[in-house]
Amino acid sequence: MPEGTERGERGTRRRGRGDSAGRRPPLVAALDLGTNNCRLLVAQATRRGELRVVDSFSRIVRLGEGLAQSGRLSEAAMARTVEALKVCAARLESNKVKRVRAVATEACRRATNGQELVERARAQSGIALEIISAEEEARLASVGCAPLIDPKAQGALVFDIGGGSTEVIWMRKGEAGRPRVVASTSQPLGVVTLAEGWGGGPLDLDGFTRLTAELTETLEPVKARMEAVAGLAFDPMQYHLLGTSGTVTTLAAVALGLPRYDRGRVDGSWHARSAILGVADRLARMRVTERAAVGCIGADRADLIVPGCAVFAAIAALWPCGQLRVADRGLREGILRELMGRR
């Protein structure tokens, strides 16, 4: 299982032991450029087939800032992003990583000048970004999260609340007991796009309540289409929620009462759905300055956490499983497992 810490702009570095012959396992790297964050993981496989993180990096770049209004990536956002990619390139070089997959998601998919960023990234940082489809993003997230599905459950409803989009993936165990995707969707409901595009007034408790109702109404036909594709109705008694990305990991950290984010405590943790909804409600009642003072949130996320809470509340209303497992892993871990030949 991956190990490391990521919040703001912090990295962890650890050197793993080699195999029995003294050879160091080859390093692979996954870079995820989202609407809000640029994140890198460098890892190696252990003899048990798990991932050992050797180096990590995360920086909030807000690539999608202003995208909802202009349809384009701004010059300032691209400049911030390229600077972060230069740091990633230096990390890759210092670790002598040979196998890398670097992907860009919703912001670059939506922007009319997304390809311009790809070209600038290659020219100025040497990193070859690949703009992936929403379907590929959901698939990789499911690969990365699958190890956390409860062996006793029939499967899980995996959700990834990102900066520009939200992926919902229904995973169900087959005859061999291995989870597979039976239905998935990607919706343009990210925390950045919602924060910028919400026209219903301030996102205080009243705004949070109204946004949650609006998102629930939006996602209701999405759930119906997923059930039609799967060929059966979703039974919340047979599944649990499995959430990944910044919103749900932050909610879990607050629920655990952590003074600062601790990946080791959050990743794989179990929570009652009702308890996390209570945390979401509590955060929505706070002023932005009060949320910024919460160690697990900070100033960079204080204006984005409430839209994320509303997306979570809508998902929890439509797929009302009693338990939530939180994953501080997802798309990048899916990439790493595939680079290592381990799905």
pLDDT at res. 203? 86
What pLDDT, in 10s, does the model give residues 97-144?
989 999 999 899 999 999 999 999 999 999 999 999 988 998 998 888
Please tell me what DSSP assigns to residue 13: B
- Sign for the CA dihedral angle at 296, 326, 304, 113 comes to positive
Q: Are 230 and 73 in contact (CB under 8 A)?
A: no
Q: Give φ, ψ of 42 to 5 degrees.
A: -115, 130
b/e 309-332 (16+ beta carbons within 10 angstroms → b): bbbbbbbbbbbebebbbbbbbbbb
The helix/strand/coil state of 246 is helix
What pLDDT, in 10s, does the model give residues 55-92?
999 999 999 999 988 999 999 999 999 999 999 999 99
Report domain extents, the chain. 28-132, 136-331
CA atoms within 13 A on the CB side of 245: 33
What pLDDT, in 10s, does the model give residues 11-54?
444 444 444 445 667 899 999 999 889 999 999 988 776 788 89
pLDDT at res. 201? 73
Q: Are 187 and 207 in contact (CB under 8 A)?
A: no
Vertex 285 angle, CA 38 and 201, to 5° = 75
What pLDDT, in 10s, does the model give residues 162-171?
888 899 999 9
Orientation of helix 75-95 relative to helix 114-125, angle to 10°: 40
Q: Do 28-132 and 136-331 come out as alike in CATH topology?
A: yes
Classify domain 28-132 at the CATH topology level: Nucleotidyltransferase; domain 5 (3.30.420)
What pLDDT, in 10s, does the model give residues 194-245?
988 887 777 889 999 999 999 999 999 999 999 999 999 999 999 999 999 8
In terms of CATH architecture, what is 136-331?
A: 2-Layer Sandwich (3.30)
pLDDT at res. 22? 52
pLDDT at res. 82? 98
Compute how many other C-beta atoms are within 10 angstroms of the C-beta atom of residue 201. 10
pLDDT at res. 23? 65
pTM > 0.95: yes or no? no
